[in-house]
Amino acid sequence: MTETDRSGRPADAFVPEPPVFLLSAAEARAAVPDLSRLLKSCVEDGAGIGFILPLSEEKAEAFWKDKLAGVEDGSAFVMVAKDGDNIAGVVMLMLATQDNGPHRAEVAKLMVHPDHRRKGLARKLMTAIDGLALSLDRWLLVLDTVTGDRAEKLYPTCGYKKAGVIPDYAYDSHGTLDATTVFYKDLR
C-alpha cells in the first residue's frame, strides 16, 4: 500500500537532494539501530535534545520506535544525511495535527554525528526540510533550541526568526536547567 501523508498525498512526493534522503516508514524502521547510535553519540557529546545522561541503547531505540507511529500515519517525517551508507545526520518534521494548524509544523531532533560536523550537513537538512514542508503546504515552521548552544547560531542563518526565550525550560544532559530559544520561519 502506498504510504500517504495526512492530506492523502504520497509521502515520497518530495525528493530531497543527496546526501539528504527522506525515509519511508519501512526505511525508518530499518534505520532505528543507526538512528539510535546517532542519538546516543550526540547526547554523550552534550547535545540538549531531551535526554539526560546516561542514555541506554534501549532508551534510544524506544525513542525512535515511538516516533515510527507518526511516520506510519503521515504526521511525522524523518530525513537523514548520509556519508556513503552511514547515517551522519537526521532531522524530523512533525505536522501540527490540531484543526487550527494545517499550515504549521515543528522541526525537531536535528542532529549531526560529532565526527561529521561543520561540513554543512545540518544546513542541507534544514534546506530539505523547507522543501518537504512546502510540498505538504506547511509554510509556518517552529522549533526551539537550548539558549547559547551552537544550534542557536545555525537557525538565523537558515532564515529563522527568534520569537523569544523561556528561562529554565529544560535540564541539560548533565542535569542543569537551561533556557530555550523559540524560533519560527514563514516560508510564504
Ligand X SMILES: CC(C)(COP(=O)(O)OP(=O)(O)OC[C@H]1O[C@@H](n2cnc3c(N)ncnc32)[C@H](O)[C@@H]1OP(=O)(O)O)[C@@H](O)C(=O)NCCC(=O)NCCS
With CB under 6 A as the contact rule, which of the stretches 13-21, 56-64, 95-103, 152-160 interacts with ligand X? 152-160
Answer for which of 15, 69, 157, 161 binds ligand X (CB under 6 A) is 157
- In the window 87-106, what residues touch ligand X (CB under 6 A)? none
Binding mask 47-86 for ligand X (x = CB under 6 A): x-x-------------------------------------
Take residue 45 and report the three cell numbers written for it: 557529546
With CB under 6 A as the contact rule, which of the stretches 16-24, 132-140, 149-157, 165-173 interacts with ligand X? 149-157
Answer for which of 42, 55, 79, 92 binds ligand X (CB under 6 A) is 42
Answer for which of 54, 57, 153, 163 binds ligand X (CB under 6 A) is 153
Alpha helices by DSSP H, 45-172: 57-73, 121-135, 150-157
Which residue lies nearer to ligand X by CB, 14 or 155?
Answer: 155
Supply the minimum distance, in Å, between the C-beta of residue 124 and ligand X: 7
Which amino acid type is present at position 18?
A: P
Contact yes or no for 61/109 (Cβ under 8 A): no
Bridge partners, 78 (sequence order): 92
Supply the minimum distance, in Å, between the C-beta of residue 2 and ligand X: 31
Contact yes or no for 183/160 (Cβ under 8 A): yes
162 binds ligand X (CB under 6 A): no
DSSP character at residue 14: -
541503547: which residue's cell?
57
Distance CA 104, CA 86 (A): 31
174 binds ligand X (CB under 6 A): no
Answer for which of 123, 131, 147, 187 binds ligand X (CB under 6 A) is 123
Is the peptide bond prior to 19 cis by the omega test (within 30 degrees of 0)? yes
Q: Length of the chain in residues, anyone?
A: 188
Grouping H, G, I as helix, E, B as strand and the rest as coil, residue 110 is strand
The residues of the shown chain that bind ligand X, judged by CB under 6 A, are: 42, 47, 49, 110-112, 117-123, 145, 149-151, 153-154, 157
